[in-house]
Structure 1
Amino acid sequence: MIGRNTGAAYGSSSALSLGQMSAEFQVPSPLVPTRESLFARYCKQHTDGTWAVVDVSLDSLRPSPVLRCRRRPSGCLIQEMPNGYSKVIWVEHVEVDDRSVHNIYKPLVNSGLAFGAKRWVSTLDRQCERLASVMASNIPSGDIGVITTPEGRKSMLKLAERMVMSFCGGVTASTTHQWTTLSGSGAEDVRVMTRKSVDDPGKPPGIVLNAATSFWLPVPPKRVFNFLRDESSRSEWDILSNGGVVQEMAHIANGRDHGNCVSLLRVNSNMLILQESCTDPTGSYVIYAPVDFVAMNVVLNGGDPNYVALLPSGFAILPDGPTAGIGEIGSGGSLLTVAFQILVDSIPTAKLSLGSVATVNSLIACTVERIKAAVSGENAQQA
């Protein structure tokens, strides 16, 4: 979910506020359109200390030829617990036209898992875990590898967070950036779009080509997640590693699940890769980006990570329906999104060549086939 405050909040005290917001609610796949919404958000703290945050749609106030989503009264109650935790009750009530959702995603969307209260609560829980990890001071030395200071640990986590946000913003079917479907791209539709990177210290300058595809796998989500995040199996799908030896140089746990972590990987002693893997009951991600040796050394010593140029690629793994729980090994199949961001020209004014598109298309098609072969073979052995 991506939102922004478009109006000043006001109220009689700090415990009461009303504001206007617009948001895009997203699923990490180009096959599921985002849900746009303009709404008023009302926040109030009750006398018992409980907070109420309520949203209601304002979409009828703005002209639109097609209204695909209207946010009926929705929101959450947040109650402080005596043990330092919070109890959150979330209600999601939306009127929506989902006819443009691709068929393979309709069971997930119709179940409410894609845009529902369970996903928002899981996302909130994961964010709390990340914040706790950033603020933690009692970190065992064996957990951090080449990171030697708390400042270096925080800088690496901050860089990983920016990498994840960049990936999620580049893989969804946003209204801001339109996808083009490549013809003759194979069994799956490969969607591409280009972006110009200019004067952004966090991205290399030039023309960036985004390519993504989503498809179904007859393998439980947890198994797909564990396969893709494991550095020992990376050579089975990562073409760019050229089958080389992958070594984990640093590891930061940032959640209760063993799969929630940030890693620094070294490939053949000549390539560094920053990777974050994360999972919750509604979905999993494995996101990575090549990083410069010099820039990463600055980060490991606690330097500013905002000037490290990143072009993240990776995977989003979702259950294929309401009965396929992420944590259940024996559950149903997976919906896997594979996405790449590649700098195809260092000159922002250059035109995209057909050769660049063909190369990226070949890269994504080969990666998909390798993943299918690897996880299907593993699934057959376990069966």
Structure 2
Amino acid sequence: MEYGSAGGGSGGGGGGDHDSSDPQRRKKRYHRHTALQIQKLESMFKEFPHPDEKQRLQLSRELGLAPRQIKFWFQNRRTQMKAQHERADNSSLRAENDKIRCENIAIREALKNVICPSCGTTPVTEDSYFDEQKLRIENAQLKEELDRVSSIAAKYIGRPISQLPPVQPVHISSLDLSMGNFGGQGLGGPSLDLDLDLDLIPINSNLAFQPPGISDMDKSLMTDVAANAMEELLRLLQANEPLWMKSSTDGRDVLNLDSYQRIFPRAMSHLKNPNVRIESSRDSGVVIMNGVALVDMFMDSNKWVESFPTIVSVAKTIEVISSGMLGNHSGSLQLMYEELQVLSPLVPTREFCILRYCQQIEQGLWAIVSVSYDIPQFASQFRCHRLPSGCLIQDMPNGYSKVTWVEHVEIEDKAPTHHFYRDLIHSGMAFGAERWLATLQRMCERVACQMVSGSSTRDLGGGKFSALITSFYFLITRLTGYFIFQ
């Protein structure tokens, strides 16, 4: 009680003087540790900054101090160490901040003296410099587009655009070529009657659609879809029973849908529609062309149309997702549009928006898969859905290739098929693997015949006779393909 009252009296003016004149009480309030005690406590602090009750009791016996004093000393020491660390961290951060501030000032001073590499003058602002560079890039792109359109127009006019008289630009809606005034050289107008052969230009409402920019997330999703489709295709190409069964009527390979559903489970929402049916087929054969040329043919939309003129009426590459390895199509991934046909107006065409992916399995062995990928603007128009389909191309020693082809599609028949072609369409022969492979074999034979005739008829009139033979062979091929489906 006496210590407590003295402490309370220290708050007043008279109590403070009385307390300062009493040396006994000052000794009780402030205890000075000896050097030996501090040394022992420091060594203990290095090993155990947070001693437990047993360790504090042992130190109190060794040093002659109360356990409460031991506890307070360790608390104060920990607080002191924390403050030292914070001061050191603050000093280092302050130095780093000063360094960054100096660098920032130096960069600002350097930007004031930047010289434009194009005109040699100081740019007004950073934004104006980059805007000018952007305009230069856009001008270069517009010039390339102008050259392309000019070459297309000159092809059908029969003379260069520069030789046309200047007229007022008009809007041509049927050709989305934006052929306005080419620097005073126009196209169209009442004074210039151009008879363009529009049949030579594949016009399709879907092709006029320009899809929005594909984001990195969309490209990543497309890559995953293509990789899964490639894995499924390889199993379809190499597996036999129970996945593939032999038809009892003609011995063709027919897909067992129950086994397929068990091996490749997916949400078959299309099958809930009673008008949806499955067409699946597989065939293999030898082609007179090496694997590298075939891969190049399949991954080029223009060559794809030229190689299958009786099946593919229109093909277009919408976007190149991945260009693959340099000098090799392995890893190439493209978003494509294609329209398939039978040479008859009684059979409706089939439209697909697909991902086409090429992968080299090993030396001399390639796999190419095509799988439908729905773009929102296209999805409502298509009545066909291509499941993983494609081919396996294997080089042979004689320069030929062995091709194994798989076709697997879901078709929605909104209108009944004409009775002339019902059996042909429903059996899968019209768009099946057999037709694809047979067409490929005929086209490769035609190319080989053209190469041979080109080298063996130089003494018989040169290119004219060769061209005559090639044209005759191509005519026979087209007529053969036509009468097969009549």
* Structure-1-length-normalised TM-score: 0.46
More helix by share: 2
Structure with more relative contact order (C-alpha pairs < 8 Å, separation 6 or more): 1
Q: Which has the higher strand share?
A: 1
**TM-score relative to the length of structure 2:** 0.37
Larger radius of gyration: 2
